């Protein structure tokens, strides 16, 4: 039974669920497509940097913050995996 679940991707991250979280918590600064929001960057006096392609890097920035970006509260566990899965779709 466990092998069947693993082979069907039952535990795979859900990019659609990640998009909903991204829209609520990330989109204001990072833009709908991850391209960044120039007016927000200007207001924060921050440089727009491309979103990382590395799963580990994206997770680290969300949980620990980077530069002027603070850690994002309320994103952990499956939600974190889902947001990372959505961010990965932006690179395609």
Residue 35, domain member (yes or no)? yes
Token duo for residue 43: 């207001």
Residue 8, domain member (yes or no)? no
Give the CATH number, domain containing residue 59.
Answer: 1.10.760.10
Residue 63, domain member (yes or no)? yes
Residue 18, domain member (yes or no)? yes
pLDDT band at 92, cuts 50/70/90? low
CB 79 within 8 A of CB 13: no
Distance, in Å, from the CA atom of 41 to the CA atom of 75, rounded to the nearest integer, reads 22
Question: Whole domain around residue 62: which residue ranges?
Answer: 13-90
pLDDT band at 13, cuts 50/70/90? very high
How many domains would you assign to the chain?
A: 1
Evaluate if residue 29 carries a pLDDT over 90. Answer: yes
pLDDT value for 46 = 92
Distance, in Å, from the CA atom of 51 to the CA atom of 89, rounded to the nearest integer, reads 11
Residue 2, domain member (yes or no)? no
Residue 53, domain member (yes or no)? yes
Residue 31, domain member (yes or no)? yes
Q: For 47-77, what is each residue's pLDDT tens digit?
A: 988 888 899 999 999 999 999 999 999 999 9
pLDDT value for 50 = 86
Residue 78 to residues 11, 42, 83, 90, Cα–Cα distance (Å): 9, 32, 9, 19
CB 21 within 8 A of CB 74: no
């Amino acid at each position: 039974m466990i092998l069947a679940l693993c082979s069907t991707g039952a535990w795979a991250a859900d990019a659609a669920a990640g998009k909903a979280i991204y829209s609520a918590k990330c989109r204001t600064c990072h833009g709908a497509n991850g391209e960044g929001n120039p007016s927000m960057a200007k207001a924060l006096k921050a440089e727009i940097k491309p979103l990382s392609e590395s799963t580990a890097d994206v997770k680290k920035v969300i949980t620990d913050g980077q530069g002027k970006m603070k850690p994002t509260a309320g994103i952990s566990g499956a939600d974190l995996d889902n947001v990372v899965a959505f961010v990965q779709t932006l690179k395609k």
